[in-house]
Structure 1
Amino acid sequence: MVDVQTEILIQRPREIVASYASNPDNAPVWYVNIRSAQWQTPKPLAVGSRVAFTARFLGRNLDYVYEFTELVPGEKLTMRTSQGPFPMRTTYTWSDENGATRMTLRNTGEPSGFSALAGILMAPMMRTAMRKDLENLKKILEAG
């Protein structure tokens, strides 16, 4: 089991942070490893929406589809991959904190086979990438 969580305080209102972060079209802008996001279902984002992402990780392109399984606008978003050797669940949560927004990013997964060993090795790299992602998001939103 891989379970990596990180959080950051962004000096912007929760509605702005949540709206920007929950829009898959913005993912390639603030995620270090995501190269593209392509909707497989009609917009807007809703439970059941599917988005195909291409990411670059460990020198390889990874293609995967996230299905959005929970959406509480401004509070929580959960998405999961349904295929591939490393099924992953990603959760965003947002809360108010002294006029700013605390955003938490959590990735959990149940790798199987060879990926189980890779999962142990990947957790520290995932944590580093997730911190960079949230730092990018903070810079973008606090500049705007």
Structure 2
Amino acid sequence: MTGVVVETEIIIARPRHEVADYASNPDNATAWYTNIKEVQWKSSRPAKIGSRVAFIAEFLGRRLIYTYEVVELVPDQRFVMRTAEGPFPMETTYEWTDAPNETTKMVLRNRGEPSGFSRIGAPVMSRAMRRANNKDLSRLKAILEAAATSR
């Protein structure tokens, strides 16, 4: 898949297992993704290879509904979802690695292949995705680090 590739990362002051467990659970997406407004499971919980989950989002002033399929799941290391539908087919990858002092480095990568009119706006979309991803990762960090201090 070529086209748009946006990769962002953050260090979260929580152990890798906790970060991966929270981030890879689609039910938590509305808490840390600013643009995701609703999650609808199309298969049974929990997420596993082959699981299908619809995300209803608002992005660049448009309402988008994407049904992702989990295509790779390596607990505490990597989680990959992919959709082939819509004007902007997308693959989303989360990767977690240990960082110093029991922290976790999380990488969020979105790869998409715009088609039709969407192809023209790909550079603008890339910048908007990067801003949104950075905001979402910061929100995830705040949620997980606040949960740790409230224990």
TM-score when normalising by structure 1 = 0.98
Alpha-carbon shift at residue 132 of structure 1 (Å): 0.2
Q: Is the 8 A contact 1:67 1:79 kept in 2?
A: yes
Matching residue of 1:112: 115
The match for 2:12 among 10, 19, 27 is 10
* 2:65 match: 63
Displacement of 1:74: 0.3
| C-alpha distance in structure 1 between counterparts of 2:79 and 2:66, whole Å | 18
The match for 1:125 is 128
% identical aligned pairs? 58
The question of whether the paired residues in 2 share the 8 Å contact of 1:91 and 1:106 is answered with yes
Contact 1:67 1:82 in 2 (8 A): no
Which residues of 2 match residues 24-39 of structure 1 at below 5 A?
A: 24-39=26-41
Q: Whole-Å Cα distance in 2 between the matches of residues 42 and 63 of structure 1?
A: 19
Displacement of 1:120 in angstroms is: 1.8
Instruction: Please give the root-mean-square deviation of Cα atoms over the aligned residues, in Å.
Output: 0.6
Letter paired with 2:105: R
Matches within 5 A, 1:84-123: 84-98=86-100, 99-123=102-126
Runs of 4+ in structure 1 deviating by more than 2 angstroms, as ranges, are none
TM-aligned CA deviation for residue 136 of structure 1: 0.1
| Number of residue pairs the alignment of both structures matches | 144
- Residue 44 of structure 1: SS of its match in structure 2? coil
Contact 1:3 1:109 in 2 (8 A): yes
| Corresponding residue number in structure 1 for 2:142 | 139
* CA shift for structure 1 position 61: 1.1
Q: Which residue in the other structure is 2:22 paired with?
A: 20
> What is the distance in 1 between the residues matched to 2:49 and 2:85?
18
User: Structure 1: where are the runs of 5+ without partners?
Assistant: none
Give the alignment's TM-score, normalised by structure 2: 0.94
